[in-house]
Amino acid sequence: MKSSLQTSEPLIYSAVEALDKASSSLLRRQNADGYWWADLRADTTLESDYIMMELWLHPPVDGVWNPPTRPKIDRAVAAILARQLPDGGFNIYLNGPSEINASIKAYFALKVAGLVADDQRMQRLRDRILEMGGLQAANSYVRINLSLFDLFPRAACPSIPPEIILLPFNFIYQMSSWTRAIVIALAIVYARNPRRPVPAGFNLQELFLPGAPMLPERDLKSFSWRNCFLALDRFLKKWEKVSPGFIRRYALRKCEEWMITRFDGSDGLGAIYPSMQYAVMALDVLGYPASHPLRIEAEKQFNNLMVDNDARGFYMQPCFSPIWDTAIAAFALAETQNPPVDALRRTTDWILSKEVRRKGDWAVKRPNVEPSGWAFEFNNEFYPDVDDTAMVLLALKKTEASDPVRKSACAKRAVDWLLAMQGKDGGWAAFDVDNNWSVLSHVPFADHNAMLDPSCPDITGRVLEALIESGLKPSHPAVRRGVEFLLQVQEPDGSWYGRWGVNYIYGTFLALRGLRAAGLSENEPSIQQALEFIRAYQNPDGGWGESCASYDENRYMPNPSTPSQTAWALLALLAGGDMRSESLYNGIEYLIRTQRPDGTWDEDYCTGTGFPRVFYLAYVEYRNTFPLLALSTFVRAAESQEVN
């Protein structure tokens, strides 16, 4: 164990060189308006859904499918095939196993795009799908999507009736914001039962597993919420056949109004891929022609998610992340020894221009709170989120603005908004307050594992740090309640769960930063236990890496080291007061050793989380901004120790 700061002096010097290169590299990627915006990558399901969308928008004529976007479809096919696994299937994260829903979506997209069934790649994919349970093993959204083309029995799909918007107790606002936006648009499509055409002779019969049940089976011997909702689903299917037409028409009108209202001030409904896609389809079945301004704009926003060029290839992004990318980049740069003041002033001015000043869905539960906060995307005014707002506040605290008075007023509003968004349990969630009706997790269409938006340790830790940096005292009631929440949800092994980043490393790094900012001593058992957790999972190369499989196993699952996760682990150690351990030094050395000559790092793995166990994200800039923050934090801490 290295025990003297003297022995780390060469390491500090190398770290300064590395962070200077990283800072210069990051500044070169800054937009002239002051923001950063990197690509957001995911799995092949987005390219598969793009092909489905093209089939919807450009149906076959006389049984022949010849869409005007054929060149793009061919590039989407190539992008999908490039990620096929040796066993024939498709996964949802790098090095992960074949996943049934991604594989079914890929098969549908590839076959409808023209790959013949006896193509070896299709044969291997079909065999793998059948090994995993066939079409009957698909989740609700895959079933519904296929049923829209009459490729899966509607009777075997969960009901998503538009009447859901009429339910009492603000029912739709008990669902997570992303589910809400998806479900309202999809309910419109579902209610119309479009049964869109496919090419002549096209079907997916070869994917049905003989003998496998089409519907989930109920355990009639015991009571459970699952059984109740399955019974309710069967009732709803009968209700659709006999319900008064005026109720359905009224519900559809309310869904339409709700959806169109949320187009305003947003780059598409919810500004995320699934709801944007279903919004286009909903406008279509509602009778909006392709020439209607709403339809034109909705399709434009959806197509804007496409990346298609020689340098980057072809893929669909799940959404845009400029405010998130910008806030992290600005904070990391501001923490360096010589922050670029002028460049960050442009950043701050741009960030201030993006403050949300209208009431969104969050106001249903907080009607008397002045609007503030920031969204994730360029424009998404109905859905500012707590995590982005906290990250922006951290950046604003470290940077200057052209108008200091405006900045101060904006920061105060944002702090007040964050305080209002604290849940009853003391924690903070992403978009809503107390969005934790656990019973909704048993709804048949809730198998995307994201029906709720409960408080989580990673966001709570970041909010605590932001509030303290913004001037709140550790004795503030909201801070004390946040600390109690984190202490209560700490895992037995000392870690914290990471909802929005993979996984326990992410949650632990943010929880530790929040707790230490809130005044907890580094000698507290909870802090020391967390540090031991981090040290225990360091890889032999000095870095850290955690697999997305940790969500499936509910425990840490090791993986090859990544720059972002290594940075998180180092930030956790530094937050806990560790300045002298070999784990810390080896981690810093890993970042220095793996940095490229241009100041960046390589990282292909998904270290961001969309929906645990369902959808993962690769933030292209994570590999650079978090190592920069870790190196600058290390250098600052080392210099502080030398002074003292």
* 133 and 272 share one domain: no
Q: What is the spatial distance between Cα 332 and Cα 391, in angstroms, rounded to a whole number?
A: 11
Q: Are residues 119 and 253 in the same domain?
A: no
Yes or no: say if 212 and 134 are a contact pair by the CB < 8 Å rule: yes
Mean pLDDT value of segment 238-257: 87
- In percent, the amount of the chain with pLDDT more than 90 equals 86
Q: What is the pLDDT of residue 226?
A: 59
Pair (251, 279) in one structural domain: yes
113 and 234, same domain (yes or no): no
Same domain membership, residue 575 and residue 613: yes
Tell how far CA 275 is from the center of its chain.
14
- Say yes or no: 298 and 411 in one domain: no
Q: What is the pLDDT of residue 450?
A: 80
Same domain, 92 and 190: no
Q: Is residue 395 part of a domain?
A: yes
DSSP 402: S
| 237 and 385 belong to one structural domain | no
Tell me the pLDDT tens digit for each residue of 136-185. Answer: 999 999 999 999 999 999 989 988 989 999 999 899 999 999 999 999 99
CB 251 within 8 A of CB 157: no
Burial 146-173 (b: 16+ CB within 10 A, else e): bbbbebbebeebbbbbbbbbeeeeeebb
pLDDT band at 242 (very low <50, low <70, confident <90, very high): confident
pLDDT tens digits, one per residue of 583-642: 999 999 999 999 999 999 999 999 999 999 999 999 999 999 999 999 999 999 988 776
Q: What is the pTM of this model?
A: 0.94
2 within some domain: no
Quick check: 220 pLDDT over 60? Answer: no
Q: Which two tokens stand for residue 500?
A: 């929005």
Among 294, 317, 340, which residue terminates a domain?
Answer: 317
Give domain status of residue 213, yes or no: no
Of 296, 317, 338, which marks where a domain is finished? 317
Report phi then psi at 622, rounded to 5. -55, -40
pLDDT for position 643: 55
The residue-averaged pLDDT of 271-295 equals 97
Of 104, 138, 172, the domain-final residue: 138
Q: Are residues 394 and 501 in the same domain?
A: yes
pLDDT at 198 over 60: yes
Q: Distance between CA atoms of 147 and 184, rounded to whole angstroms?
A: 18
The verdict on 290 and 422 lying in the same domain is: no
Is 154 part of any domain? no
| Residue positions annotated with a catalytic role | 387
In a domain, 448, yes or no: no
* Domain total of the chain: 3
Tokens of 135: 């079409």
Q: Is residue 224 part of a domain?
A: no
The sign one gets for the Cα dihedral 604, 609, 615, 617 is negative
Contact of 141 with 417, CB cutoff 8 Å: no
Residue 155 lies in a domain: no
Token digits of residue 381: 């005014």
Residue 22's closest CA among 624, 641, 639?
624
Q: Which domain holds residue 282?
A: 161-200+230-317
Among the residues of 490-598, which ranges form H helices?
Answer: 504-517, 525-536, 549-553, 563-575, 582-594
Sort 343 into a burial class: Cβ within 10 Å, 0-12 / 13-18 / 19+.
Answer: middle
| pLDDT exceeds cutoff 60 at 559 | yes
Statement to judge: residues 388 and 326 lie in one domain: yes
Considering the domain architecture, whether residues 67 and 31 belong to the same structural domain is answered as no
Any idea what the CATH number is for the domain that residue 362 is in? 1.50.10.20
In a domain? residue 210? no
